[in-house]
Amino acid sequence: MKLLVFGSVLLYLGIDLLAWHGPVWHTMYGDKAPAPSPDEIVAVVYGEPITIAQLNRYEAEQDALAGRTEPQPARRSAMLMDMVRSKLLHIRTRYNSAHLSDSRQAAADEVARLSSRAADEATFDAWLKGQGYASRKEYTDKLAVRLQSTELLEKAIAEHCKVSDEEVERIYTQLEGELPAPASRQVSHIFLETLHKDNAAVKAKAEELLQRLQAGEDFATLAREYSEDANSAPKGGNLGRIADSAERPLPELPLFGENAIPTDTPTLVESKWGWHILLAGDITPARQLTRMNAARASAPPSSACAVSRRSMRGSKVPSKKDL
């Protein structure tokens, strides 16, 4: 009897995996993208391929982030090296995953948040396939790896770049009088993105929120409920103090200069990413920093890696780099 049951199970598995492609096959292979052909591969990192399609997608993303409209073939090899480094980081992340937080729930929550912005589930799944993902599960898994990679990098930075009070004092003594502080102001926003959406409909929604603000509703409350900026929405839309410098985020927003938005007045403006309702405080004029003010502003003694993190403010981690 046992032999008969065992033989029946083996027969079912054989039919499921080799001929029928049933539940067992879909569990093991259904969510995986087909292996690329040799002609589609531009690099292999420890057995893991990087395809031409992945490189093209990453190049398009970087051009969009930088505002470039013309392709730059000379940068393609540098972008490929970026992807190789990213792949190495992901491999190292998997190797150290036992020592990192379980990020699967956070990744699932983020995918659910992104999905809720689409017109319907089918539209979101179609967008994923257009980005090269065979399924929502594949995208979630790779996003979870990306979150763990970020944690791994933060741990590595914290271990190697703690700055002592004496080092801060020495550096800023050398630079005394040479560290100008640009004009700055406190800024909050309610952001509605237009990616894969009808611009007019998004603008209409933003105008409706602006009218509610003008009628007296609380800015932070509406930002928490409606803003699509995942970083600032939980903080009531607070972006912190933004300096008038070349490295500031969204330089096209009119925060400084002759066309600067008025103080403490919700103002609707458009960027290349979508519509923003901005609320900005008074502009603090540019000034020349003293040594002690510069040290206090740039590297609080109790904050590990404060100098290194501030030195990297101008860099931007892409939202997805072949996760």
Q: How is residue 303 annotated by DSSP? A: S
Q: Where are the domains of the chain?
A: 38-159, 162-176+291-304, 181-288
Measure the CA–CA gap between 188 and 223, rounded to whole angstroms: 9
Task: Give the pLDDT score at 190.
Answer: 95
| Residue spans of alpha helices (H) in the chain | 2-14, 23-25, 52-66, 76-95, 104-117, 121-130, 136-160, 165-174, 199-214, 219-226, 291-298, 306-311
Task: Give the pLDDT score at 176.
Answer: 61
Task: Give the pLDDT score at 321.
Answer: 36
Residue 201 makes CB contacts below 8 A (sequence gap 6+) with none
Measure the CA–CA gap between 322 and 143, rounded to whole angstroms: 9
Task: Give the pLDDT score at 313.
Answer: 33
- Provide the CATH number for the domain formed by 181-288 in this structure: 3.10.50.40
> Is-same-fold flag (38-159; 181-288)?
no
Residue 224 makes CB contacts below 8 A (sequence gap 6+) with 233, 234, 236, 237
Closest CA to 267 of 185, 323, 210, 200: 210
Task: Give the pLDDT score at 6.
Answer: 53
Length of the chain in terms of residues written: 323
Residues of the chain with pLDDT under 50: 16-17, 24-25, 291, 294-323
Task: Give the pLDDT score at 280.
Answer: 93
Q: CATH number for the 38-159 domain, one of 1.10.730, 1.10.4030, 1.10.3470, 2.60.120? A: 1.10.4030
